[in-house]
Amino acid sequence: MGSITIFYLAKEEEKCRFNPLFPDLFEPITFPLRKGAGQKFCQPSGTGIDLGFFELDDLSQPSSGEDIFPLVICAETNSISVLDASPHMQITQAVLEKNNGVGPFQVKVVRQILWIDDVRYELRELYGIGSSATADFEDNDHGKECVICMTEPKDTAVLPCRHMV
């Protein structure tokens, strides 16, 4: 079992917990999830906030110095075991942008965090991974093949050693 919680204008506190800057105006919204993998989530219509109260600049970047994000989405597991009281979470911190200030808002992910067994892991992009699995990959492209099977293009990084396989 688990849940997805959506925070608006939230700041990260201890142990990867988030508090909304204006809790009376923009309460976090939590949606339960069924047990199992491969679920899709779509926020029900009418459960968001009116973005007309904000300046576009306030929504299109995190606040400087305070690490407050316009949108925080937290997917959390609820353990069945009483011994495992610490939930596991995937947190997405995002900003909202408009294309040249017009049209609908687009969500732009700024940071992703995993919280597992009371340890915070920040997910980082691996530069160069996009060029390793090119459409014109051939078996004789030295250095682009997986170091395990030696036939397919690299598409995965092993951490902490960061070997591409």
35 and 108 in a common domain? yes
18 and 8 in a common domain? yes
- The set of long-range contacts for 105-110, using a CB threshold of 8 Å and a minimum separation of 24, is 105/51, 105/59, 107/71, 110/62, 110/69
115 and 56 in a common domain? yes
55 and 34 in a common domain? yes
95 and 58 in a common domain? yes
In angstroms, what is the C-alpha Rg of the chain?
Answer: 20
pLDDT of residue 55: 81
81 and 20 in a common domain? yes
pTM, two decimals, is: 0.71
Nearest alpha-carbon partner for 91 in 114, 71, 110: 114
> Which of 21-30, 39-48, 76-85, 130-139 has the highest mean predicted lDDT (pLDDT)?
21-30
76 and 48 in a common domain? yes
In the 8-state DSSP scheme, what is residue 27?
-
